């Protein structure tokens, strides 16, 4: 029987996780250039809009790949004792949130009540996932890269930028609440969400990428 060294196995799992993130992100980008989803506005419509199209299965596959890749990579960090408990909890919230997004697709809010159970779960899961991931990266950065200040600094900056994207959305909600109107019309919501998702995935990919040999 062939025995695979633990170090080699952990590197393989980490790289597989990062690859799953890349493929998942690539599938979402593909949806923006193939019909009929190429007609969905990337500046005004959220990413979840793809889940209401004829290519729903591609969107679902992309999100599941990101969730599984995240889980695999975070598990390796945990096994290497490079993932603090709070970061592990936040990472789990990110992963579960993605799976809930797939299980409860975004509804057509023009035809359903805003109290729709599935739609409400979709919204909550989206917020939880997008906030939990950058917080997980911030918490994990020091422990994950004790001897790599460059990577530690980079993932922290990306995590803060991710939260900055989310702050734009919160700002729109606050302004709309004060002045009336629909908050999602005050900003290019699709562009903001895509910027946030891309920034978060890059931060996560750097976090999960195998580190050099540690003492």
Give the C-alpha separation, 172 to 183, whole Å: 5
Q: pLDDT class for 115, splitting at 50, 70, 90?
A: low
The pair of three-digit structure tokens given for residue 74, joined into one six-digit string? 């975070």
Asked if the bond preceding 36 is cis, omega within 30° of 0, the reply is yes
pTM of the model: 0.93
The tens digit of pLDDT for each residue in 22-73 reads 999 999 999 999 999 999 999 999 999 999 999 999 999 999 999 999 999 9
End-to-end CA distance of the chain: 30
User: What are the two backbone dihedrals, phi and then psi, of residue 12, each rounded to the nearest 5 degrees?
Assistant: -65, -45
Short-list 91, 99, 59, CA closest to 72:
91
Interval 79-97: pLDDT, tens: 999 999 999 999 999 999 9
């Amino acid at each position: 029987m062939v025995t695979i060294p633990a170090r080699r196995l952990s590197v393989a799992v980490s790289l597989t996780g990062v690859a799953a993130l890349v493929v998942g992100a690539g599938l979402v980008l593909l949806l923006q250039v193939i019909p009929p989803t190429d007609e969905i506005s990337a500046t005004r419509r959220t990413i979840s809009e793809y889940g209401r199209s004829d290519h729903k299965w591609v969107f679902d596959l992309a999100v599941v790949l990101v969730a599984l890749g995240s889980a695999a990579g975070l598990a390796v960090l945990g096994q290497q004792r490079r993932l603090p408990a709070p970061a592990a909890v936040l990472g789990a919230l990110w992963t579960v949130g993605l799976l809930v997004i797939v299980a409860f697709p975004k509804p057509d809010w023009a035809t359903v009540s805003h109290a729709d159970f599935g739609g409400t779960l979709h919204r909550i899961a989206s917020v939880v996932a997008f906030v939990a991931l950058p917080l997980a990266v911030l918490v994990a950065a020091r422990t994950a890269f004790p001897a790599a200040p460059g990577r530690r600094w980079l993932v922290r900056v990306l995590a803060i930028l991710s939260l900055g994207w989310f702050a734009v959305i919160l700002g729109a909600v606050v302004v709309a609440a004060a002045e009336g109107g629909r908050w999602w019309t005050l900003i290019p919501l699709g562009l903001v969400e895509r910027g946030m998702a891309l920034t978060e995935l890059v931060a996560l990919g750097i976090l999960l990428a195998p580190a050099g040999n540690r003492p």
